[in-house]
A and B are shown apart, each in its own frame.
Chain A
């Protein structure tokens, strides 16, 4: 009984206070709405079809899962440039003939373990080796791509027919959407819960916002940093599964420049690049904005070069708008 009472009393002011954050999301939602309108106007017969929507979400799934991990790393005051390469490495390792011989379950485990393991290496270098995150993960980017090429001998590795359970993640549809979209949704939801409803999430904000204050509050900042990069690596492992399912291959060239797309999505989503402030929801909206832009350009037969220009402009505008929103008294 008392529970409901406290809840009713306590929650409304909190919601009211968080207004500015929601207004920022409103901006993103507005941009998203605008893009949808553009799609409906320019390609009325194509944009709103089930096939196209499903396609957009499937495309968004890979980068979206990576972006969830990236959001944590950036809120925690770091950056992870190795995400695309880690995804590629995980996809290669999970599709070698040796791994494939153990069946799809082992392939899944392998992808996730490789991603997480490489993330742990990132974390160790940064938290305990005191390397700057930019440098440590840049080195990991280069090394992981190289390792992927070495393992695959620069060949694209096909998933063998007996392991097509992996492929079915992209082909099996529930309510019209492939399973990978649900996987993406599940990761995003888990990310939101982890950030907003657990002590881990609270500590992430503290570690990114003021590492010294976090340390003096008794938080083990280094262990936490390690965990953040491991989490990002874990997300790369999941993303590897999605790309394997979509392309039925493992390749050292998967996910080229994904790190930039993921960082861009996080930033337009309202997360501070310097850490301490950010949301999972914003990042997901950022991913959707970028994916829909790509889709619109493709549907309208426009050049991909112009698409890049549009993305660049969006990043700048989003950051300028945020800076205005960030200004606090004193």
Chain B
């Protein structure tokens, strides 16, 4: 093998803190020229933040980074690109209405004589695409009309147009079909053959085995293994590195659901074409059922379809034995469902409104007397909930955006708890999509306790989390989901984290 060459990129002790969250707390990373270096870690381990530091979008608080021996501290994304680091994000940042050539040279169009030289750009773009083995992509075609795989090639051509020495690829295979992945790998090998270094991020261990040279594992914002050779490291070791966590959360006790408890929710052969197929399960009163799976495995789609935010292609949803009209969130709410959606900001919060208005928006019918708002009752119940959930500060008139993530999440949950479970307007089933995302550690335990308490009051809970330990620690029963199918349903006690991770990453049920 010879002595290890001087790395192209060298990071030591990189730290990045956001208000209330330490996203990176000491990352070491060495990337050599001409290698495919894989970056692994669970959701929230710090991968995205690390990418953004390298792309120049975030400035680290501490640590040193060198690129080809020179200190690397880009002032912004453009500077990082000029230094030779190109990033291909999961959501491709191409302009769909512009041509392939215009996208490749976006921001640095050949225009040396004061006019944009379209011909020159097109010729150069064609050369770059040919270098990537895709000379067949027409450079004048609008990018929006290309396939996902072709768009990715255009992104790579753009990276090459900057003479990138290091290309970061964030889950490049997520949107690709199987044969397209093989093609992507061929392109990556060509690039590394030309001395370009690739940082490759993927959740799929099988891919990493195939394309990767070395692997760095991130956990809780720290690199727990730096540059392990992929071929000598068993999968079990990688999984152990990803999961071996310190400071586990204390999960509340599970009292268990007695046999014969009424079913709250029954899902029968629910299918949404292109997202998931043939999903069947039940949730009983007082039971917490968790869905474990990767982002993009169809978890959120399943929840949203049950809730009527998407219309199922086929299958049925029943609450308390009564079929719910598909494709209507109003019907879902009337049947007693409530949803705390995944994206708090875009899907849940009314950002111009107060805490009180945010809490009551889903329950306005409770305060309606022929359309008139019963503001006294509204206010009384809001104050009750603020107290019950310990929202801080307990001020109903504060703009909701001034609250911390954990408190915002409580406000969203409170939407479905007004009046309490004993109330006729009380909920039968709560659907919680990533309830602890963006919530700091202390508030998490509180939310866990709250979820359990709700279950104890006889509400059924359906929960999704990307963090496997959270699902295993909180749920009574777990459904493991991969690529739109339920692989396994089991009591949470029968599964451990490594087994679940194995299943959702490799699909081997066992």
Contacts and interface: CB of A to CB of B under 8 A. Distances in A.
Interface SS of chain A: helix
A329 B347 contact: no
Contact of B350 (A14, A197, A200, A213): A213
Interface in B344-401: 346-354, 357, 360-362, 364-365, 367-368, 371-373, 375-376, 379-380, 395, 397-399, 401
Interface string B324-353: 000011101110000101000011111111
B222 interface: no
A329 B19 CA distance: 13
B372 A198 contact: yes
B439 to A, nearest CB: 15
B352 A17 contact: no
Contacts of A3: 376
B456 to A, nearest CB: 25
B17 interface: no
B373 A215 contact: no
Contacts of A202: 357, 360-361, 364, 373
Nearest to B403: A330
B353 A328 contact: no
B348 A213 contact: yes
User: How many residues of B sit at the interface, in one of the four size bands?
Assistant: 35 or more
B307 interface: yes
Interface string A8-26: 0010011011100000000
B399 A328 contact: yes
B214 interface: no
A199 interface: yes
Given A17-B354, A206-B350, A217 B372 contact: no
Interface in A213-269: 213-220
A10 B353 CA distance: 18
B48 interface: no
A217 B338 CA distance: 8
A184 interface: no
Contacts of A198: 371-373
A215 B309 contact: yes
B362 A218 contact: yes
A6 B380 contact: yes
A188 to B, nearest CB: 19
A272 B364 contact: no
B112 to A, nearest CB: 39
Nearest to B308: A218
A42 interface: no
Interface string B315-331: 00000000000001110
Given A205-B352, A205-B357, A209-B353, A216 B376 contact: no
B309 A17 contact: no
User: How many residues of A sit at the interface, in one of the four size bands?
Assistant: 35 or more
Nearest to A13: B397
A280 to B, nearest CB: 16
A209 B333 contact: no
Interface in A187-204: 197-203
A216 B343 CA distance: 11
Nearest to A220: B330
B402 interface: yes
Interface string A306-330: 0000000000000000000000111
A115 interface: no
A216 B353 contact: no
A199 B368 contact: yes
Nearest to B376: A6
B350 A216 contact: no
Interface string A77-103: 000000000000000000000000000
Given A10-B376, A216-B348, A328-B402, A199 B330 contact: no
A210 interface: yes
Given A206-B361, A210-B349, A215-B329, A329 B402 contact: yes
A202 B358 CA distance: 10
A216 B309 contact: yes
Nearest to B367: A199
Interface in B392-423: 395, 397-399, 401-402, 415
Given A201-B373, A217-B333, A218-B330, 14 more contacts: A6-B376, A10-B379, A17-B354, A199-B364, A199-B368, A202-B357, A203-B364, A206-B353, A210-B349, A214-B350, A216-B309, A216-B341, A216-B347, A218-B334
Interface of A: 3, 6-7, 10, 13-14, 16-18, 197-203, 205-206, 209-210, 212-220, 272, 276-277, 328-330
